[in-house]
Amino acid sequence: GSMAISLPLDELEKGLELSVNSVDVIGTSEYWVEKEFIYQRRIGQRVYEVKLWFSGPFSLLKNSELIDLCELTFKDFDKFELAHVTVINEGVELLSITPHKLEKPIQ
C-alpha cells in the first residue's frame, strides 16, 4: 500500500540555510512474488517442458504471460539446443530456467 512520512532535516553546515525543516517521503510497497511459466519445446519426437521462474511485484506478474516478460530463444548445436533468455521487463528478475540444455534425440 501507499505510505507517507515526514522526516526532520538536521542542521546544515555553517553558511547554508533551510527554508523548511522537514521533507515528505511518499512511497508504495507491494508483495514480491515468484511465478513459474512452462514453455513446451519440441525437438524431433521429443517434447521438453522448459520451466522458467520469475520474481517480481505481484501486480506485474499476476496477469503476465511469458512473452510479456522475456524473449526465449534456442541456439542450435549438433547434439543439443541451449535456451537463452533475455528479460525485457525491468520490473522482474529471472530466477531459474530448467532444463537449460535440451538434448537432441539420437537418430
- Given a cut of 80, whether residue 84 has pLDDT beyond it is yes
**pTM to 2 decimals?**
0.72
Domain of 93 in residue numbering reads as 32-103
Query: Is 4 a member of any domain?
Result: no
User: Is residue 35 a contact partner of residue 58, using CB atoms and an 8 Å limit?
Assistant: no
Query: Is 5 a member of any domain?
Result: no
- Given a cut of 70, whether residue 78 has pLDDT beyond it is yes
Query: Is 6 a member of any domain?
Result: no
Residues 6-40 have pLDDT tens digits of: 666 666 566 666 666 666 777 778 899 999 999 99
Query: Is 46 a member of any domain?
Result: yes
Work out the mean pLDDT of the chain and round it to a whole number. Answer: 87
Query: Is 63 a member of any domain?
Result: yes
pLDDT confidence of 107, banded at 50, 70, 90? confident
Query: Is 9 a member of any domain?
Result: no
Query: Is 92 a member of any domain?
Result: yes
Q: Which of 37, 36, 53, 50 is nearest to 99 (CA)?
A: 50
User: Is residue 76 a contact partner of residue 97, using CB atoms and an 8 Å limit?
Assistant: no
Domains identified in the chain, total number: 1
pLDDT confidence of 53, banded at 50, 70, 90? very high
